Amino acid sequence: MDITNVTVVSSLQPAQNRANVTLLLVDDDSIIRELFETILTLAGYTVITAPDGLSAFEVASKDRFDMLVTDFQMPGMDGYTLATRLTQRRSSLPVLMVSGANSTDLPLEGLSHPNWNFLPKPVDRVRMLEIIDRECLRMTPSNLV
**Is the distance from CB of 37 to CB of 49 less than 8 angstroms?**
yes
In a domain, 126, yes or no: yes
pLDDT at position 108 is 55
In a domain, 5, yes or no: no
Residue 117: burial class (beta carbons within 10 Å; 0-12, 13-18, 19+): buried
Task: State pLDDT tens for residues 6-34.
Answer: 444 444 455 557 878 999 999 999 999 99
- The arithmetic mean of pLDDT across residues 111-139, rounded, is 86
Phi, psi of 139 (to 5 degrees): -75, 145
In a domain, 7, yes or no: no
DSSP 123: P
| Residue 131, domain CATH | 3.40.50.2300
**Is the distance from CB of 131 to CB of 70 less than 8 angstroms?**
no
Range of the domain at 39: 16-139
In the chain, the amino acid numbered 39 is I
In a domain, 1, yes or no: no
In a domain, 145, yes or no: no
Structural domain count of the chain = 1
DSSP 75: S
pTM for the full model?
Answer: 0.83
- Counted residue by residue, the chain has a size of 145
In a domain, 29, yes or no: yes
| 97 vs 72: CA distance, rounded Å | 6
In a domain, 9, yes or no: no
Task: State pLDDT tens for residues 57-105.
Answer: 999 999 999 999 999 999 999 999 999 999 999 989 999 999 886 655 5
- Residue 48: enclosing H or E segment and its boundaries? strand 46-50
For residue 132, what pLDDT band results from cuts at 50, 70 and 90? very high
